[in-house]
Amino acid sequence: MKYQRNIIITGGAGFIGSHVVRLMVQKYPQYRIINVDLLTYAGNLENVADVADAPNYVFRRADITDYPAMLALMEEFSVDGVIHLAAESHVDRSITDPFSFARTNVMGTLSLLQAALNTWKATPEGFSGKMFYHISTDEVYGALEMDSPMFTEKTPYSPHSPYSASKASSDHFVRAFHDTYGMPTVITNCSNNYGPNQFPEKLIPLVINNVINRKPIPVYGRGLNVRDWLYVKDHARAIDLIFHNAQPGESFNIGGCNEWRNIDIVKLIISLVDSRLGRPEGADDDLITYVTDRAGHDLRYAIDATHLTSKLGWKPSLQFRQGISETIDWYLDNKDWMDRITAGEYKNYYSRMYGDK
């Protein structure tokens, strides 16, 4: 079958990527979707099991930093679109191992850009009908005071962690390829995502899992840091909209319009999980354990998504209380998924299939 478009989605077995893969495979049967993922600790093919047998879905286990492999994939599938989500994303891990973040987030992005550039320049139509879409983070903007205006697309970059520095660098490379070569690119900077299938090192699934199992819940400092929360399915809808409608060289902020202090989120989750498990609401508040604050912990992030809303008509479908309620229900209904993830059972499966990496 000849497909209208051939789109690589990197990191498609991860949290956000799996939701984008599922949306694109199901919504666009006329597109071939190539999921490229190395299946490191946070990548899990269970996340896309429901579309694994779709005729327009292809999976390739590959390292985005392997330029010859990326070039070969671009040529094999005549790729005309890249949606780049693959990244190391956990700030704590970046503090202990910044080299891995520089390798994956910077060199991996550069590898993909160069592979796309060389493939597309060699086609008769050149850049026509092509798009390289790079997903970034609000953390590249630095931190806000409690009374400061929200981040806009014009906010200067001021990264404070190795993670955000690596993402800022990758953003700069994407813009440089647009400005230098005329390559069609778009960048989006999103706020904190939450929802089904999130790896349990992140705050929300960690708290849910620890409440279920009555384990201590670590909270940095006094839990007063503020984040804007974006439901992952709303993010996937935004990515779809932007990929199809943005002009080359544009940037958009994607935010959930849901600013919450960490401690308030933790207490809300405890209350909701306790209620669903038949425990008195808030019975497990004593699980909260205040720990030494993270080095360079940014006080507040807040995204102004006005540009996206006014230009393309996107807005979040869920407010946080509804979204977190649905998220908790998903984790309770899929407790076996969480148990397998935390036990690392899927790693053994991948080792047998693909070898250790």
The pLDDT tens digits along the chain (357 residues) read: 899 999 999 999 999 999 999 999 999 999 999 999 999 988 999 999 999 999 999 999 999 999 999 999 999 999 999 999 999 988 889 999 999 999 999 999 999 999 999 999 999 999 999 999 999 999 999 999 999 999 999 999 999 999 999 999 999 999 999 999 999 999 999 999 999 999 888 899 999 999 999 999 999 999 999 999 999 999 999 999 999 999 999 999 999 989 999 999 999 999 999 999 999 988 899 999 999 988 888 899 999 999 999 999 999 998 899 999 999 999 999 998 888 888 875 554 444 444 544
CA–CA gap between residue 109 and residue 10 (Å, rounded): 10
Residue 345 pLDDT: 55
Q: Is the CATH number 3.40.50.720 carried by domain 5-194+231-255+301-319+346-354?
A: yes
Residue 89 pLDDT: 86
The one catalytic residue among 57, 141, 163, 301: 163
Residue 179 pLDDT: 98
CA–CA gap between residue 331 and residue 317 (Å, rounded): 20
What is the residue whose two structure tokens read 């071939």? 32
Active site residue 354: no
Q: What is the pTM of this model?
A: 0.94
| Domain range summary for the chain, segments of one domain joined by + | 5-194+231-255+301-319+346-354
Active site residue 125: no
The one catalytic residue among 37, 80, 138, 259: 138
Backbone angles phi, psi at 179, to 5 degrees: -75, -35
Residue 347 pLDDT: 52
Residue 41 pLDDT: 84
Active site residue 141: no
Residue 201 pLDDT: 84
CA–CA gap between residue 61 and residue 69 (Å, rounded): 10
3-class SS at 321?
Answer: helix
CA–CA gap between residue 209 and residue 225 (Å, rounded): 21
Distances (CA, A) of 270 to 205, 250, 328, 332: 12, 40, 10, 13
